[in-house]
Amino acid sequence: MSEIPEELRYTKTHEWLRIMEDGHFEVGITEHAQDMMGDMVFVELPEVGSTVSTGEDCAVVESVKAASDIYAPVGGEIVEVNSELADAPETINQDPYHRGWMFRLRPIDQSAADNLLDPAAYEQVIASES
Amino acid sequence: MNQKTPLFELHKQTGAKIVAFGGWEMPLHYGSQVEEHHAVRRDAGMFDVSHMARVELRGNGVRQFLRRLVANNVDKLTVSGKALYTCMLNAHGGVIDDLIIYFVRDDWFRIVVNAATRDKDLAWIEDQAKQVQGVDIVPRPDLAMIAVQGPNGRDKTCVALGDAVKEASVNLKPFFAVETNDYFIARTGYTGEDGFEIILPNDQAPNVWRALQQAGVAPCGLGARDTLRLEAGMNLYGTDMDENTTPLESGLAWTVAWEPKDRDFVGRKVLEKQREQGVTRKLIGLVLVDKGVLRSHQRVTCAGGQQGEITSGTFSPTLGCAIAMARVSVEVQTGDSCQVEIRGKQLNAKVVKYPFVRHGKSCLPAL
């Protein structure tokens, strides 16, 4: 069973969201998602300063196997991206919940995170897929 | 219901991620496709290729039958154990399948064809054999096949399988096979590395697999097999060529034997006409200069404005960049720049000769 940290929120499309101390949201993909995709070889991140809406495809990860869109869990302005992934996309495989984060955004609506899945609900999403 | 090879349970125990491929349940990888790829380039890896179909052709009419059935010439096979890579064509010169023919003796040839095309191949071969005397077609589902590949592949195989195998195979030249005890050992493969392909009875396959693993040969899945063969510039049937393309349009002209002129193989007339008039499209190698990953069906725009399409693309673990084979207009030349459309963007790529990698080393010019 793959790891689903208690303190994060999740989407049906396998992104995770962390509420940071400064109120920004950090986004990445789950352990389950990286396991399904296999070895990551390329990451395309949104531009800092761009605005994304909830559910918008705003990044791409590519494994040896396939390309996969990453969707913004909530709307907001991109304030930072993990530029280390450009040269080391495999970080997403190695540490999906920490060093493998993809982007940080300033949410339009701070409470939007409440609409996301809690760990138990996300676990059911995984279970229903297998 | 997909079929399972005699090694299926072992794959599952080893933690393989299983996928459906050509009607079979096969391992995609055992954890990391990239690590498996490197194992083959640097040391030794093994693939269960039992899904590929082994068929024996027996009888005194077989050689004459094969002269007509395939585009390469089986008369190149005079020494027992010699192998020949060839395409089997339809009347329009399109590729029904690519296969390897092993010569055992004059009334006994052994062929290995792709899993996904097995049924259509057999139907075609049986149909072609109807008018011919002295050809028995004997599928061998009782045999499994393991490919051990990599610079240390042959040594580790000898450690695993013992002195008899070592003795029989030590002087085996590339593209030759030898039969010893129950094993048919061929110095062939699909990775661009040295190694063996071993055909053996189904019931012995699990023990041999375990012995190889104990000798330090890494289990590798179909994922690594695909990135390895693409780096090695080897075609994959169904993506790089099919019944709508001829060998001349698929980088496989070298497999067509034009001499002797009176050998009337199926598809010859169309190929001769094409050779005379010149082909309009061909397969080339591409290396992506910008960051990204090349994939099949991406559109290629060449310097002269001609459009083409990627047939196979991937990220090359050995080279650290994306590579592809693409079918483009014949005017396109090695060294040309071109653009590949990826998610609406035009990314820069360069036309190169393939193979991209051979024996662990890059074959690319400085870009």
Sequence-ordered alpha helix ranges (H) in chain A: 31-37, 91-94, 119-129
Q: Flag whether residue A62 sits within 8 Å of chain B, measured between CB atoms.
A: yes
Q: Flag whether residue A60 sits within 8 Å of chain B, measured between CB atoms.
A: yes
The values of phi and psi at residue B284, to 5°, are: -130, 165
- Sorting pLDDT into bands at 50, 70 and 90, what band is B190? very high
CB-neighbour burial class of residue B230 (10 A; exposed 0-12, middle 13-18, buried 19+): buried
The predicted-structure confidence for B27-85, as pLDDT tens digits, reads as follows 999 999 999 999 999 999 999 999 999 999 999 999 999 999 999 999 999 999 999 99
Q: How far is A29 from chain B (nearest CA, A)?
A: 18
The pLDDT score that the predictor gives to residue B367 is: 61
In angstroms, the CA B156 to CA B45 distance is: 10
Hey, is B166 helix, strand or coil?
helix
Q: How far is B297 from chain A (nearest CA, A)?
A: 13
What's the sign of the alpha-carbon dihedral A79, A83, A85, A86? positive
Provide the mean pLDDT of chain B.
96
The predicted-structure confidence for A81-127, as pLDDT tens digits, reads as follows 999 999 999 999 999 999 999 999 999 999 999 999 999 999 999 99
How far, rounded to the nearest angstrom, does the alpha carbon of residue B342 sit from its chain's CA centroid? Answer: 28
Question: Which residues in chain B are contacts of A64 at CB distance < 8 A?
Answer: 33-34, 223, 227, 314-315, 317
In angstroms, the CA B1 to CA A126 distance is: 25
- Sorting pLDDT into bands at 50, 70 and 90, what band is B366? confident
Token couple for B153: 């592949």
User: What are the angstrom distances between the C-alpha of B97 and each of B70, B89, B207?
Assistant: 10, 7, 32
Question: Which residues in chain B are contacts of A60 at CB distance < 8 A?
Answer: 343
Amino acid at B253: A
In angstroms, the CA B201 to CA B262 distance is: 40
The predicted-structure confidence for B261-295, as pLDDT tens digits, reads as follows 999 999 999 999 999 999 999 999 999 999 999 99
Question: Which residues in chain A are contacts of B315 at CB distance < 8 A?
Answer: 41-42, 62, 64
The beta-carbon neighbor of B315 closest among A41, A44, A60 is A41
Share above pLDDT 90 across residues of chain B, in percent, rounded to a whole number:
97
Crossing angle, helix B33-42 and helix B222-231, to 10 degrees?
50
Q: Flag whether residue B32 sits within 8 Å of chain A, measured between CB atoms.
A: yes
Q: Flag whether residue B318 sits within 8 Å of chain A, measured between CB atoms.
A: no
In angstroms, the CA B72 to CA B85 distance is: 8
**A-contacting residues in B 88-127 (Cβ below 8 Å):** none
The residue of chain B with its CA nearest to that of A90 is: B34
In angstroms, the CA B169 to CA B178 distance is: 7
The predicted-structure confidence for A1-35, as pLDDT tens digits, reads as follows 689 999 999 999 999 999 999 999 999 999 999 99
Are B291 and A41 a contacting pair at CB < 8 A? no
The values of phi and psi at residue B20, to 5°, are: -85, 130
DSSP string, B294-327: --TT-EEEETTS-EEEEEEEEEETTTTEEEEEEE
The pLDDT score that the predictor gives to residue B365 is: 82
ipTM higher than threshold 0.90? no
H or E stretch including B358? strand B357-358
In angstroms, the CA A101 to CA A6 distance is: 16
**Full-model pTM:** 0.94
Token couple for B69: 């059935």
In angstroms, the CA B185 to CA B187 distance is: 7
Hey, is A83 helix, strand or coil?
helix
The pLDDT score that the predictor gives to residue B1 is: 84
pLDDT surpasses 80 at B319: yes
Amino acid at A55: G
Question: Which residues in chain A are contacts of B32 at CB distance < 8 A?
Answer: 38-39, 93
Mean pLDDT of A39-67: 95
- Sorting pLDDT into bands at 50, 70 and 90, what band is A70? very high
pLDDT surpasses 70 at A69: yes
The values of phi and psi at residue A104, to 5°, are: -120, 140
In contact, B222 and B69? CB cutoff 8 Å: no
Q: Flag whether residue A120 sits within 8 Å of chain B, measured between CB atoms.
A: no
User: What are the angstrom distances between the C-alpha of B84 and each of A1, B65, B147, B234, B258?
Assistant: 47, 15, 17, 15, 15
The pLDDT score that the predictor gives to residue A1 is: 63
The pLDDT score that the predictor gives to residue B303 is: 86
User: What does the angle CA B57 – CA B58 – CA B62 come to, to the nearest 5 degrees?
Assistant: 75
- Sorting pLDDT into bands at 50, 70 and 90, what band is B310? very high
**Torsion from C-alpha of B58, B60, B61, B66, nearest 10 degrees:** 60
Structural domains of chain A, ranges and CATH numbers in brackets = 9-129 (2.40.50.100)
How far, rounded to the nearest angstrom, does the alpha carbon of residue A129 sit from its chain's CA centroid? Answer: 19
DSSP string, B227-287: HHHHHTT---BTTTB-TTS-GGGTT-GGG----STT---TTHHHHHHHHHH--SEEEEEEE
Are A64 and B291 a contacting pair at CB < 8 A? no
Q: Flag whether residue A67 sits within 8 Å of chain B, measured between CB atoms.
A: yes
Q: How far is A96 from chain B (nearest CA, A)?
A: 16
In angstroms, the CA B333 to CA A20 distance is: 53
H or E stretch including B357? strand B357-358
